[in-house]
Amino acid sequence: MFSLAQYYAAKQTAQLQKTKINLSFRAMFLTKTQIPILGMLAGIVLQLNGVARPYILELAFKNLVHFGAWFALVPVGYLIDFGKAREYYYRAWDLLALRFLIMPVLFYVL
C-alpha span between 33 and 39 (Å, rounded): 11
Alpha-carbon 60 to chain mean position: 19
User: Measuring CA to CA, which residue among 21, 41, 20, 46 is closest to residue 30?
Assistant: 41
The domain limits of the chain are 3-57
User: Measuring CA to CA, which residue among 36, 4, 5, 10 is closest to residue 23?
Assistant: 10
Rounded-to-10 torsion of CA 27, 29, 34, 38: -140
Other CB atoms within a 10 A radius of the CB of residue 9 amount to 13
Query: For position 58, what pLDDT does the model report?
Result: 82
Residues of the chain with confidence (pLDDT) below 70 = 1-4, 22-25, 27-30, 77
Query: For position 8, what pLDDT does the model report?
Result: 76
Query: For position 55, what pLDDT does the model report?
Result: 86
Query: For position 69, what pLDDT does the model report?
Result: 78
Query: For position 25, what pLDDT does the model report?
Result: 67
3-state secondary structure (DSSP) of residue 51: coil
